[in-house]
C-alpha cells in the first residue's frame, strides 16, 4: 500500500484522466457562477412548458436508480444471508452514498432557492405531494447511507469503539434502508402519476411506482457488476484476496438475480400495457421507440445475463450489465423528457443546453474523484487488518 | 422469543397500515365546494380585444409587454401565459370566422399544483382562488409539471429569488369586494363572475336557449375534478386549445394510490424483511448444527471403523501368527521325527 501511494505521488499529475477531469471541473465552475448570477434561463434550455430537464432526468432520476446497488447488495448480504457477497457491500454502499449525495448536490443547481431545500421537511410539509415523499426519503436514506458508510471511515481513523457500535446497527440500518429505498425509488415514478395528460400512454401507468421500484433492483444489481468492472483495473492493487476471490462469485450471483428481475420487470410492464389496453400505440413512432426500450434494453440483457450465467461467461455478463445500466438511463429519460410533453409541437420540445450537459458531467466527475479519493485511503475493497478475523 | 417478536412486529404493522391510510385518505376531499366563486368565459362573445390582458397587467403591476395591448397583430401567433403575463387571448379558426379564447389559471377545485407542492405554497381559498406563497417556495417547479393546463410560469431569469407566476383570480381584489380585473374590464361581458354553482346554471341556460350556438358542454364543470374557471363555446373545445382528454379525475385522486402505498410499505417491509432474516438465520443455524452433528457422526463412525479394522487386523495377525506357529511346530515336529524315521528305515534294511 505505502509503496503504491509513493508511486502515485511520483507520477505526474497530468495524466489524461486528470487533464479531462480538470477541464470539466473548470467548465463546471464557470457554469456554476453563471447559474447563480444570471439565472437558470441563461444556462439551461428549460422553459415554461418544460420545467424539468436533464438535471432532473439524469442527475436525479438516473442518479437515484443507479445508486440502488447499495440497498440491493446490503439486503442480499445481511437480510437474505448471502454472506459470500460481503466483500461487495462496502463498494456498493459507498457508491450509493456518493450517488445520493451528488443527487442532492445537483439539486442545488436546479431548484430556484437551494437554501430552502430543508423547507419541505422542517418548515411546511406538503404531505399530499409525492415530491415530499421523495424529499423525505432521500434525506433519511442519505443519513442511513452515511451511517452505513462510517465503519470504513472509523477504521481508517482508528476509532474502534464507535466503529463497533455502528457495526452492531447493521441489520436495523439495512432494513430501514430497504424500506426507504422502496419508497422513494417508487415515488420517483409516482411523481408522474399526476400527469396522465402529459406523459405518453405507453409510459404512463398507475403502476409507475411498481415499475420504478422493480427496475431499480435491476439497476442496482447491474450497477454493482458494472461499477466493479470499472474500478477493477485502476483499483486492483487495493483489492484484497477476499474481494478478488469472491468477485466472480458475486458477479455470477448478481447476474442470475438480474436476469430474473429483468424478466419479471418485462412481465409487469406487459401487464401494464394490457391493463391500459395500449397495444394500438405500438404501431406508432413512439411505439417503435417503446419496443426498442422493452426488447433491446430489458428482454435482451435478461437473455444475455441468463446465457452468461449458464456459460459462466463473465465478459458477457459485464456487457449485459452495461446494457441494463444504459437501459435504465433510457427509461428514466423517456419518462422525464422524451415521452413527457409528447403532445407539444416539436418546436416547443426540450433539448439540453451545453450548460446543462456541462453541469451533469461536472457532477459525475466529482463523484468519480471523491470515489477515488476514498477508495485509495479507506478500507473499501479490502478488509482492514484490525478486523481480519470478523465474519 | 423469535416468534413473539415476529407477532409483535406484525401487530405494529397492522396498526400502522390501519392508521395512516385513513390519514392520507383524509386529504381526499373531492366534490364541489358550494361557496366557491368562479368565472364563466363565453367564447361566442369574446372579440379578442385584449382589454382583459391590459387590465390584468395593470391590476397585478406586471412589467410592460413588448408590444402594446392595442396591437392585435400578436393574435396571429399562439401565445401562452408566462412570468410576465397571467392571461393571454388566442385566436382560433372557427367554422364561420375567427374565435377567441382567453387563457389563465383555471383555479381547479382540487388543484394539481397545490396537491403537488411539497411546501404547500399553493392554497385553494374558500372564495375559489388558488393562491401562491413565494415565501416558502423552493423553486422545484413540480407544480408546472403537474398542472394539466400548463399554466404556472417561472422566473427563469431570476438567479436567486425566482417565483412561480400565475393568475391569482385577483384574490386581493376579491377580498375588497371587487371583481377580478379582467372581468371588470371586458367590454362584451364575455366573462361572468359569480358563485360557481350559479355560473353552471347560467351556462346551461345559454346553451339551452341557443342550442344551435353552443356545444352542449360546460368545459370545467367536471374536467380534472372541476375548475372554478369554466368555458362555453360554439366550437369544439379542442379547436380552441382546450384538451378534451383530461378526464374527470382530480389530481389528488390520481396520486391517491401511490400515497396509500406508503404506510403499507412502511408497515409491511420490516416485517417481511425481519421474517426473511429470521428464516435465513434459522436456516444458517440448522445448517451449522447439522454440519457439526455430521462431523461428529463421521468422526465417530471413522473411529468405530478404525477400531473394527484394528480388531480385525489384530485377529488376522493373531491367526497368522497362530498359523505360523502351527507350521513352525509342525515343521519342528517333522524335523524332530525325521531322524527317527531314517533310523527305522536303516534298521529295517539291516534286519
The pLDDT value given to residue A4: 47
State the average pLDDT over residues A164-187: 92
pLDDT (tens digit per residue) in A40-80: 999 999 999 999 999 999 999 999 999 999 999 999 999 99
pLDDT (tens digit per residue) in B77-119: 999 999 999 999 999 999 889 999 999 999 999 999 999 999 9
Collect all residues of chain B within an 8 Å Cβ-Cβ radius of residue A39: 155-159, 162
Q: Are A328 and A221 in contact (CB under 8 A)?
A: no
Residue B7 has pLDDT above 60, yes or no: no
Distance CA B269, CA B274 (A): 8
The pLDDT value given to residue A389: 64
- 3-state secondary structure (DSSP) of residue B42: strand
State the average pLDDT over residues B322-330: 88
Least confident range of A192-196, A291-295, B20-24, B168-172: B20-24
Tell me, yes or no, if A53 comes closer than 8 A to chain B by beta carbon.
no
A-facing residues of B in 53-72 (CB < 8 A) are none
Q: Are A227 and A95 in contact (CB under 8 A)?
A: yes
| Predicted structure pTM score | 0.86
β-sheet bridge partners, residue B91:
B100
* Cα pseudo-dihedral A352, B255, B83, B236, rounded to 10: 100
Share of chain B above pLDDT 90, in %: 75
The model's confidence at residue B347, banded by pLDDT at 50, 70 and 90, is low
Tell me, yes or no, if B88 comes closer than 8 A to chain A by beta carbon.
no
Which residues have a Cβ under 8 Å from the Cβ of B224 and sit 6 or more positions away? B108, B110, B112, B148, B246, B247, B248, B249, B250, B251
β-sheet bridge partners, residue B219:
B231
Handedness of CA A337, A341, A342, A345 (dihedral sign): negative
Q: Return the higher-pLDDT residue of B224 and B28.
A: B224
Q: Return the higher-pLDDT residue of B6 and A170.
A: A170
Best of A48, A120, A175 to mutate (most B CBs within 10 Å, chain B): A48
Residue A382 has pLDDT above 90, yes or no: no
Which residue is it, cell 462469485?
A249
Q: What chain B residue is nearest to A208 in terms of C-alpha separation?
A: B258
pLDDT (tens digit per residue) in B196-237: 999 999 999 999 999 999 999 999 999 999 999 999 999 999
Angle between helices B251-350 and A170-190 (to 10 degrees): 140
Share of chain A above pLDDT 70, in %: 96
Chain-chain contact of B116 with A78 (C-beta, under 8 angstroms): no
Residue B351 has pLDDT above 70, yes or no: no
Q: What chain B residue is nearest to A124 in terms of C-alpha separation?
A: B119
Angle between helices A130-157 and A86-110 (to 10 degrees): 130
Q: Return the higher-pLDDT residue of B1 and A357.
A: A357
pLDDT (tens digit per residue) in A232-283: 777 888 888 878 888 888 899 999 999 999 999 999 999 999 999 999 999 9
Residue B5 has pLDDT above 60, yes or no: no
Collect all residues of chain A within an 8 Å Cβ-Cβ radius of residue B155: 39, 112
* Other CB atoms within 10 Å distance of the CB of residue B324: 10
Nearest 5°: the CA angle A19, A25, A28 is: 140
Mean pLDDT score across all residues of chain B: 88
pLDDT (tens digit per residue) in B245-291: 999 999 999 999 899 999 999 999 999 999 999 999 898 899 999 99
Which residues have a Cβ under 8 Å from the Cβ of A386 and sit 6 or more positions away? A155, A160
Q: Return the higher-pLDDT residue of A143 and B333.
A: A143
B-facing residues of A in 200-219 (CB < 8 A) are 206, 208-209
Residue B63 has pLDDT above 70, yes or no: yes
Of B136, B281, B283, the CB nearest to A123: B136
Residue in A67, A80, A83, A75 with CA at minimum distance from that of residue A250? A83
The model's confidence at residue B28, banded by pLDDT at 50, 70 and 90, is very low
Taking 3-state DSSP, the helix, strand and coil percentages for chain A, each rounded to the nearest 5, stand at: 80, 0, 20
The pLDDT value given to residue B338: 79
- 3-state secondary structure (DSSP) of residue B23: helix
Chain-chain contact of A38 with B243 (C-beta, under 8 angstroms): no
B-facing residues of A in 336-355 (CB < 8 A) are 343
Chain-chain contact of B257 with A38 (C-beta, under 8 angstroms): no
Collect all residues of chain A within an 8 Å Cβ-Cβ radius of residue B110: none
Amino acid at each position: 500500500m505505502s509503496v503504491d501511494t509513493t508511486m502515485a505521488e511520483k507520477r505526474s499529475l497530468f495524466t489524461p484522466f486528470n487533464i479531462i477531469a480538470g477541464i470539466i471541473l473548470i467548465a463546471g465552475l464557470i457554469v456554476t457562477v453563471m447559474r447563480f448570477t444570471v439565472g437558470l434561463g441563461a444556462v439551461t434550455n428549460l422553459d415554461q412548458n418544460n420545467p424539468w430537464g436533464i438535471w432532473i432526468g439524469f442527475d436525479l432520476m438516473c442518479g437515484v436508480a443507479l445508486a440502488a446497488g447499495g440497498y440491493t447488495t446490503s439486503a442480499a448480504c445481511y437480510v437474505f444471508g448471502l454472506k459470500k457477497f460481503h466483500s461487495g457491500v462496502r463498494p456498493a454502499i459507498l457508491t450509493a452514498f456518493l450517488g445520493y449525495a451528488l443527487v442532492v448536490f445537483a439539486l442545488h443547481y436546479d431548484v430556484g432557492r437551494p437554501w430552502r431545500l430543508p423547507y419541505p421537511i422542517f418548515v411546511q410539509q406538503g404531505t399530499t405531494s409525492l415530491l415530499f415523499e421523495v424529499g423525505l426519503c432521500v434525506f433519511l436514506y442519505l443519513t442511513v447511507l452515511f451511517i452505513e458508510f462510517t465503519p470504513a471511515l472509523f477504521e481508517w481513523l482508528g476509532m474502534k469503539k464507535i466503529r463497533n457500535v455502528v457495526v452492531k446497527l447493521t441489520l436495523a440500518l439495512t432494513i430501514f434502508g430497504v424500506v426507504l429505498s422502496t419508497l422513494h425509488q417508487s415515488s420517483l415514478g409516482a411523481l408522474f402519476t399526476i400527469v396522465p395528460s402529459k406523459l405518453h400512454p405507453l409510459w404512463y401507468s398507475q403502476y409507475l411506482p411498481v415499475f420504478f421500484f422493480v427496475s431499480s433492483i435491476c439497476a442496482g444489481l447491474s450497477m454493482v457488476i458494472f461499477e466493479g468492472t470499472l474500478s477493477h483495473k485502476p483499483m486492483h492493487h487495493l483489492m484484497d484476496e477476499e474481494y478478488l476471490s469472491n468477485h466472480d462469485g458475486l458477479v455470477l450471483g448478481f447476474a442470475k438475480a438480474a436476469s430474473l428481475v429483468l424478466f419479471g420487470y418485462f412481465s409487469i410492464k406487459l401487464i401494464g400495457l394490457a391493463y391500459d389496453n395500449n397495444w394500438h400505440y405500438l404501431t406508432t413512432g413512439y411505439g417503435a421507440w417503446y419496443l426498442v426500450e422493452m426488447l433491446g434494453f430489458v428482454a435482451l440483457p435478461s437473455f444475455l445475463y441468463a446465457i452468461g450465467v449458464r456459460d459462466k461467461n463473465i465478459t458477457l455478463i459485464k456487457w449485459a450489465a452495461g446494457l441494463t445500466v444504459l437501459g435504465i438511463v433510457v427509461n428514466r429519460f423517456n419518462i422525464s423528457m422524451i415521452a413527457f410533453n409528447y403532445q407539444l409541437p416539436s418546436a416547443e420540445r426540450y433539448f439540453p443546453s451545453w450548460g446543462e450537459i456541462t453541469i451533469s458531467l461536472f457532477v459525475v466527475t466529482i463523484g468519480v474523484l471523491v470515489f477515488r479519493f476514498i477508495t485509495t485511503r479507506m478500507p473499501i475493497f479490502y478488509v482492514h487488518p484490525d478486523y481480519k478475523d470478523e465474519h | 422469543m423469535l416468534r413473539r417478536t415476529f407477532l409483535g412486529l406484525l401487530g405494529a404493522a397492522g396498526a400502522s397500515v390501519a392508521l395512516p391510510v385513513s390519514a392520507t385518505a383524509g386529504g381526499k376531499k373531492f366534490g364541489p365546494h358550494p361557496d366557491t366563486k368562479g368565472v364563466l368565459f363565453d367564447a361566442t362573445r369574446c372579440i379578442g380585444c385584449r382589454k382583459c390582458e391590459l387590465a390584468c397587467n395593470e391590476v397585478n403591476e406586471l412589467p410592460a409587454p413588448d408590444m402594446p395591448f392595442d396591437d392585435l397583430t400578436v393574435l396571429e401567433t399562439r401565445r401562452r401565459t408566462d412570468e410576465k403575463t397571467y392571461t393571454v387571448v388566442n385566436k382560433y379558426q372557427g367554422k364561420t370566422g375567427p374565435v377567441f379564447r382567453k387563457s389563465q389559471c383555471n383555479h381547479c377545485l382540487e388543484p394539481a399544483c397545490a396537491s403537488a407542492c411539497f411546501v404547500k405554497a399553493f392554497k385553494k381559498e374558500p372564495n375559489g382562488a388558488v393562491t401562491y406563497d413565494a415565501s416558502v417556495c423552493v423553486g422545484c417547479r413540480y407544480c408546472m409539471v403537474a398542472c394539466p393546463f400548463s399554466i404556472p410560469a417561472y422566473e427563469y431569469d431570476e438567479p436567486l429569488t425566482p417565483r412561480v407566476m400565475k393568475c391569482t383570480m385577483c384574490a386581493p381584489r376579491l377580498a375588497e369586494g371587487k371583481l377580478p380585473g379582467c372581468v371588470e374590464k371586458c367590454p362584451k361581458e364575455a366573462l361572468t363572475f359569480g358563485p360557481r354553482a350559479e355560473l353552471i346554471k347560467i351556462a346551461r341556460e345559454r346553451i339551452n336557449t341557443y342550442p344551435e350556438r353552443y356545444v352542449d358542454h360546460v368545459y370545467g364543470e367536471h374536467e380534472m375534478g372541476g375548475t372554478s374557471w369554466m368555458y362555453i363555446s360554439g366550437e369544439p373545445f379542442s379547436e380552441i386549445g382546450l384538451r378534451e382528454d383530461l378526464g374527470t379525475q382530480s389530481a389528488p385522486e390520481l396520486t391517491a394510490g401511490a400515497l396509500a402505498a406508503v404506510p403499507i410499505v412502511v408497515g409491511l417491509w420490516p416485517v417481511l424483511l425481519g421474517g426473511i432474516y429470521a428464516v435465513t438465520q434459522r436456516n444458517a443455524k440448522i445448517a451449522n448444527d447439522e454440519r457439526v452433528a455430521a462431523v461428529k457422526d463421521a468422526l465417530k463412525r471413522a473411529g468405530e471403523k478404525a477400531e473394527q479394522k484394528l480388531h480385525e487386523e489384530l485377529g488376522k495377525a493373531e491367526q497368522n501368527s497362530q498359523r505360523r506357529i502351527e507350521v513352525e511346530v509342525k515343521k519342528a515336529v517333522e524335523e524332530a521325527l525325521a531322524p527317527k524315521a531314517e533310523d527305522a528305515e536303516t534298521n529295517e534294511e539291516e534286519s
